[in-house]
Structure 1
């Protein structure tokens, strides 16, 4: 057997020992390189994730600017417009979502404050304008009334009535606008008045009045207290105008006066196109008068009727609501609580000759003017001179002067007995016109 030299054995033994000593270092080096590779891969993965997250954040900010902020601004004018949410659900519940929400809230506050400022300025400007126009229309009304007394020619009188009626239409629209813009007074101060007279006076303010049929079902001579007369008349006129406008020209509008234990109501029924549920809800909100309404929310052109009714009802203590009518259209209900009602004394103040008598009243009603074309008189500054209106005020009938004169004389005679009692104490409040 061959002998290994001792020197070789010693060398091999030393080499093995050295190799074993290097093993931990080599293992650590290998493990380090493996960890470095893994860290590099993780870093690349994290970098890709952060890059994606950063891109998503950029997209989210762009979505905020291009979609969510415009949605928010639009929803402030039109509440039914939805405001879109986050583009990426990864930001839900994070500080990023809270930061973007804070931006929306700041935009909401800024836009709301600016809208209120602009609306307040517009209301103030319109108040001044409507006050001036209203005073001028009252002066025009008085002038036309004096001309009606001065001229006996029936054709001239008819033209004057037509002009007076157009003046009344303009006054009604200006009046509603003034109320919506916060006018502190409605333009007239009246005395306690029969509820039937108020309804008849309101009917005379609207185009198509001849289609309005009034039924007086009150048990007692019920009237409204002075402070509520003109506001209630304005509200009823607006409701009548709405009913006439949204129903067929051949269909009547039914009005009923009802008396209850706690107050009295005026029911207005039309057989028109009706309203959707959302329209009923909007009408209820507007006519409650409890929530502020911006002019920009009223459409173009703005619809002042329901907001004006709401303001008057809220300020003076009566209530107005609308609901589906049994005739297929809309029923409007004006409710006056007992605090706004008074018992009228027929001996000291009789009802208008044009007002419908209660069903329980067996006394014969005054005969209507020949031809049945008269319009119930409105409350006037000088009530003894007010005239009833012809059915077609804008066209003169094809009659001879003699026949027209006879009809006009009969018309005046037929209403003379009820004039003084019909419109007690309507007094104009003159506003100071400002330039």
Structure 2
């Protein structure tokens, strides 16, 4: 066996002892380096997470400015437009979500205040303009009436009737616009009037009036009290205009006057294109007259019919609703409570020859309804007598000049008698516009 020199053995023993002595230090050094590496990795991971959160927050702010705020502004004008939510669900329930929500609320308040301010200024300007235009239209109406009295040529009369009819349509639109803009006065002062006469008069204000077919199912000759006559006339005219406009020119619009225990109703049915459920809901909201409506919500050009109806109904105490018609179109119902009705005296104030007769005038008398028992009887002065004039649309060439002159004179007399009650209102309108 080979012998290891003693010197070498002594040298190896010393090296081993030295190495064993350094082992704890080397282990601690290695462990410390490992911990440092792990800390660095954790820091890097934390930095990456923070970087991701910062990028997400930047994206969220961009989403707020580029999508959510524009959605909010559009939704204020069009409630059906949804406002998008958070882009990153990690912010849900955090202070970041609450801060972004506060920004949206502040934008909502600022935009709403500005819209109300602009709308109020626009309404004030429109009220002033419509008042002036109304007065001018009443003056034009008087001029046309004077011309009708001056000329008895049937051909000139036909042109004057066309001009008068166009003036009536323009006046109706101006009246509705004034109501929507906050005018509490509709422009005319009227006497108590038969409900049937109001329906006929409202029909004469709309294009296509010859297609309106009215039926009077009232048991008594009921009328509307003076303060509500013109608002009811404007309402019925707007509903007839809608029914005629949205139905085929060959189709008739049916109007029925009905009497109930608590009041009377005017039911208007058309067989037109109808309305979608959302349109019925919007119409119901507008015709309550309770919720404020901005001019900017009425479209371009503005659709002022339903808002005007709602304002008039709310202010004067009657109700209007629309629903699907059994004929496939739209049914509109104007309900007048007993407080707005009065039993008329046919001897003191005859009904117009153009108005449909109530049932008691063409059939055996029926027992009066409860409503009729509590309605006051109004006595009115006897108006100027007049024979019914020619129906609108009848041709005159087959008549002799003498016959045409007689018929035209009778029609002029009837027109003058019918307008006598509203002339004070026209004068008041002129005074308001020039004051």
Same fold (TM over 0.5): yes
CA-to-aligned-CA distance 1:332-375 (integer Å, 9 cap, x gap) = 00001111111212232221111110123138xxxxxxxxxxxx
1:409 aligns with 2:406: yes
In structure 2, how many angstroms separate the alpha carbons of the residues matched to 1:384 and 1:208? 29
Q: Which residue number in structure 2 is paired with residue 160 of structure 1?
A: 160
Q: What 5-or-longer segments of structure 1 have no aligned partner?
A: 364-381
Q: Which stretch of the first structure deviates more once superposed, 347-356 or 325-334? A: 347-356
Q: Distance in 2 between matches of 1:389 and 1:278?
A: 44
Q: Distance in 2 between matches of 1:408 and 1:307?
A: 44
Structural RMSD (CA): 3.1
Closer, same or farther: CA 75–387 of 1 in aligned 2, 3 Å: farther
Question: For 2:182 and 2:384, how far apart are their aligned partners in 1?
Answer: 28
Alignment deviations for residues 268-314 of structure 1 (CA, whole Å, 9 cap, x no partner): 00000000100100111111111111111111111110010010001
* 8 A contact 2:197–2:352 mirrored in 1: yes
Give the secondary structure class of the aligned counterpart of 1:122.
helix
State the Cα deviation string for residues 66-109 of structure 1 (Å, max 9, x = none).
11111111111111111111111121111111111111111111
Distance 1:353 1:160, change over 3 A: same
Equivalent positions of 1:25-424 (< 5 A) are 25-362=25-362, 391-392=392-393, 397=395, 399=397, 403=400, 405-410=402-407, 412-413=409-410, 420=417
Query: CA 1:386–1:168 in structure 2 vs 1: closer, same or farther (change >3 Å)?
Result: farther
- Please state whether the residue corresponding to 1:301 is helix, strand or coil: coil
Pick which of 25-34 and 163-172 moved more.
25-34
Q: Give the secondary structure class of the aligned counterpart of 2:334.
A: strand
Q: Does the Cα contact within 8 Å between 1:128 and 1:434 map onto a contact in 2?
A: no
**Secondary structure of the residue that 1:97 maps to in structure 2?**
helix
Residue 120 and residue 38 in structure 1: after superposition, are their counterparts in 2 closer, same or farther (change >3 A)?
Answer: same
Give unpaired runs (5+ residues) of structure 2: 364-382
Q: Go from structure 1 to structure 2 and tell me whether the alpha carbon gap of 1:151 and 1:3 turns closer, same or farther (over 3 Å shift).
A: closer
1:141 and 1:320 map into 2 onto residues whose CA distance is: 30
Classify the secondary structure of the residue corresponding to 1:188: coil
Tell me: CA distance 1:3–1:144, structure 2 relative to 1, closer, same or farther (3 Å).
Answer: closer
The answer to whether the 8 Å contact 2:387/2:411 transfers is no
1:183-218 Cα offsets, whole Å, 9 max, x none, are: 120001111111111111111111111100110000
2:389·2:411 contact (CA, 8 Å) conserved in 1? no
- Is the Cα–Cα contact under 8 Å of residues 271 and 325 in structure 1 kept in the other structure? yes
Q: CA deviation at 1:222?
A: 1.1
Indicate conservation of the 8 Å contact 2:271/2:325, yes or no.
yes
The structure-2 alpha-carbon separation of the partners of 1:207 and 1:247, relative to structure 1 and needing over 3 Å to count, comes to same
Kept in 2, the 8 Å contact 1:191–1:425? The answer is yes
- Residues 208-241 of structure 1: CA distance to partner in whole angstroms, max 9, x if unpaired? 1110011000011211111111000000000000
Closer/same/farther in 2, CA of residues 313 and 416 from structure 1, 3 Å limit? same
Aligned residues: 412
String of CA shifts for 1:231-273, please: whole Å, max 9, x gaps: 0000000000000000011110000000001111000000000
Distance 1:43 1:388, change over 3 A: farther
> How does the TM-score come out when normalised to structure 2?
0.86
Secondary structure of 1:243's aligned partner: helix
Residue aligned with 2:328, SS: coil
Q: Deviations over 1:128-148 (max 9, x none)?
A: 000000011011111111221
Local SS of the residue matching 1:360: helix
**87-96 or 233-242, larger mean C-alpha shift:** 87-96
